[in-house]
Amino acid sequence: RHKFWETQPVGQFKDLGDASLPEGPIEPPTPLSEVKQEPYNLPSPYEWTTCDLDSEDMCNEVYVLLTNNYVEDDENMFRFNYSKEFLRWALHPPGYYKSWHIGVRVKTSKKLVAFITGVPARIRARDTVVVMAEINFLCVHKKLRSKRLAPVMIKEVTRRVHLENIWQAAYTAGVVLPTPVSTCQYWHRSLNPKKLIDVGFSRLGARMTMSRTIKLYKLPDQTITPGFRKMEPRDVPAVTRLLRNYLKQFVVAPDFDENDVEHWLLPKEDVVDSYLVESPETREITDFCSFYTLPSSILGNQNYSTLKAAYSYYNVSTKTPWIQLMNDALIVAKRKDFNVFNALDVMHNETFLKELKFGPGDGKLHYYLYNYRINHVLRPSELGLVLL
């Protein structure tokens, strides 16, 4: 059934439910001298290229490939449209390896036709912090699908990860592969219901009029929580402490240090937004929320070309109730002209989704680990990890 994945060190379907298998690495690392030194062979029309996202031209080529060929919804109405600034941010975290940003070109025309990336991350699984690669942006041009290019790309990124003495990886996908660590669901909170209905993202509810729908999703212009403000560079130490303490409770979560927080959570215009609550009395930072900007192209609509979506990222509540904190996040997202606010049912998100009028989406998002076994399928609320 999975000719490629059956050969890989990942949890296999036949082993699901076998709690006698040891948790942890499936295969031990091999000596670096035994890692294949040359790239895998591609079919002869194609060649490997390493993508330097600092180059405006390369970044543009990657952007165009993804804009036209990356992930679509099941009905092919929308396609992710990651911005160039977002791609640079996503691919240049602390300690990144340029060699993990891998492209495939047509030899004759030099056209970029496929892409896959990794970035390093420390991820804790239960009590063990493991250096992993987060694999993302796997994309093969629409005209080259079903030619088994993806397995070669996955093997090549694996080889380049191994060359850095890293043996585990984390990734998410909308498709079911052997075998999910957890299966999550997206929820959507309309901020501009009129547009969402016009473009076919949502439908007018039964016995609802447009004006009642608009009223239902109306939000105040100003945030409610005293001390709610944008995160600043001086907040990095306090946010790191708050987040580290929060993420302890999840079975799988990133092990963020101050450098990671500075990179992943300091606000970056049109890429990532972060807010916190600073207690007006004690000046203590008690709560935090963040979201990233990921528009989708709207395919074949006369009136609109882009859906502006905010995606819930890392949030922490210790004093402000979850519902109030995330309602303030919705208020700022609305003020920044996002059309919809999306959130997975990970971490504590279920405590606010229904109350804040999020509705369940159709697609699922499956989380995977490569060469690391976790013996039970996790509930989404046991996951403390959000990948971009």
User: Is residue 206 at the binding interface for ligand YNC, with CB under 6 A as the rule?
Assistant: no
126 binds, among Mg ion, ligand YNC, none (CB under 5 to 8 A by kind): none
d(CA 294, CA 299): 16
d(CA 216, CA 183): 30
The minimum distance between CB 142 and ligand YNC, in angstroms, equals 8
The minimum distance between CB 46 and Mg ion, in angstroms, equals 10
**How many alpha carbons fall within 13 Å on the CB side of residue 123?**
26
The minimum distance between CB 70 and ligand YNC, in angstroms, equals 5
User: Is residue 152 at the binding interface for Mg ion, with CB under 5 A as the rule?
Assistant: no
User: Is residue 147 at the binding interface for Mg ion, with CB under 5 A as the rule?
Assistant: yes
d(CA 150, CA 173): 13
d(CA 309, CA 300): 18
For Mg ion, the closer CB: 4 or 96: 4
> Which H/E stretch holds residue 246?
helix 236-247
Strand stretches in 168-255, DSSP E: 168-173, 182-190, 228-230, 252-254
DSSP-derived secondary structure for 18-74: -TTSPSB-SSPPPPGGGS--SPPPPPTTEEEEE--TTSHHHHHHHHHHHHHHS-B-T
For ligand YNC, the closer CB: 157 or 353: 157
User: Is residue 111 at the binding interface for Mg ion, with CB under 5 A as the rule?
Assistant: no
User: Is residue 40 at the binding interface for ligand YNC, with CB under 6 A as the rule?
Assistant: no
DSSP at 378: B
User: Is residue 378 at the binding interface for ligand YNC, with CB under 6 A as the rule?
Assistant: no
Q: Which stretch binds ligand YNC (CB under 6 A): 92-100, 166-174, 268-276, 301-309?
A: 166-174
User: Is residue 150 at the binding interface for ligand YNC, with CB under 6 A as the rule?
Assistant: yes
Tokens matching residue 217: 């999703």
> Which H/E stretch holds residue 118?
strand 112-125
The minimum distance between CB 153 and ligand YNC, in angstroms, equals 7
User: Is residue 329 at the binding interface for Mg ion, with CB under 5 A as the rule?
Assistant: no
Q: Which stretch binds ligand YNC (CB under 6 A): 16-24, 68-76, 238-246, 257-265?
A: 68-76
Q: Which stretch binds Mg ion (CB under 5 A): 45-53, 132-140, 314-322, 348-356?
A: 132-140
d(CA 328, CA 227): 11
Check if 388 is active-site: yes
Q: Which stretch binds Mg ion (CB under 5 A): 116-124, 141-149, 200-208, 362-370?
A: 141-149
Tally of residues, the chain: 388
User: Is residue 133 at the binding interface for ligand YNC, with CB under 6 A as the rule?
Assistant: yes
Positions touching ligand YNC (CB under 6 A) are 2-5, 69-71, 133, 135-140, 145-151, 154, 157-158, 161, 166-169, 171, 173, 175, 177, 370-371
